[in-house]
Amino acid sequence: MLRKLACTGFALIAAATFCGTVSAQDKAGEKAKDPIAMPQPLVAVIDFQRVVKESAAGRSIREEIDSRHAQFQSEIKKLQEGLDASRKELASRPAGMSDAAYTKKRGEFRKRVNNLKTLIQDRKRKLDLMFNTGMREVDRALAAVLKELAQERGINLILNAGRGRGLVLFAESGIVITDEALRRLDARLPTARLTKPSTEK
């Protein structure tokens, strides 16, 4: 009799243990299938600005821009020296020069000054455009590198430790809740009423 009770008790314990194990596995499976469940974060940090600045491509862009800027400065210096000479001539107007001739020379001088200003603005705009275009290419290449690293190492979130950039540089779609938050916000607040200022009737 005792043996039968012992066997029965053992069988009940084993069954309970088995049921508990199956129940835990079922819950784990349900959690894995749950679309709301978020993956465990695996975060990496990068100083994006430093990498771009110290990269070979980044350095080559700055060197090229510096070289072109030096050439531009040399060109501008010659033009400014010519304007300085013309300014001195106008300041020491020859005694026999007529008013009409003097007015004409002043007009020509102002035109040269305006042309120089336009040239400086144009050169600066082109240099800025070249620099920004080049650096955007470096940014895109680094973004591709970060995506590769994330895939290789199972990273689902990359944060930027540097300044001047967005904080999040890469995020796996599974941890991005933008669309879900938008859907719920639209459901909770489909429209908003604007309160008229007190001055309006």
Residue 166 pLDDT: 66
Residue 12 pLDDT: 35
Mean pLDDT of the chain: 77
Residue-wise pLDDT for 168-196, tens only, equals 777 777 776 667 677 777 887 776 554 55
pTM assigned to the model: 0.63
Of 108, 68, 58, 67, the closest CA to residue 87 belongs to: 108
Mean pLDDT of 41-70: 89
Domain ranges of the chain: 36-188
Give residue 84's pLDDT band: very low, low, confident or very high (50, 70, 90). very high
- Tell me the residue ranges of DSSP E strands in 16-156: 43-46
Where does residue 65 rank: exposed (0-12), middle (13-18), buried (19+ CB within 10 A)? middle
Residue 34 pLDDT: 56
Mean pLDDT of 79-91: 89
Residue 28 pLDDT: 46
Measured in whole angstroms, how far is the alpha carbon of residue 162 from the centre of its chain?
11
Tell me the C-alpha distance between 109 and 76, whole Å: 16
Residue-wise pLDDT for 147-172, tens only, equals 898 888 888 888 887 766 668 777 77
Residue 8 pLDDT more than 50?
no
Q: How many Cα atoms within 13 Å fall on the side-chain side of residue 116?
A: 17
Tell me the C-alpha distance between 98 and 100, whole Å: 5
Cβ contacts of 68 within 8 Å, gap of 6 or more: 127, 130
Residue 62 pLDDT more than 70?
yes
DSSP-assigned letter for residue 193? P
Residue 171 pLDDT: 76
Mean pLDDT of 50-74: 91
Tell me the C-alpha distance between 101 and 54, whole Å: 58
Tell me the C-alpha distance between 154 and 141, whole Å: 20
**Percentage, residues of the chain above pLDDT 70:** 72
Residue 23 pLDDT more than 80?
no
- Map residue 165 onto helix, strand or coil: coil
Residue pair 158/45 in contact (Cβ under 8 Å)? The answer is yes
Give residue 80's pLDDT band: very low, low, confident or very high (50, 70, 90). very high
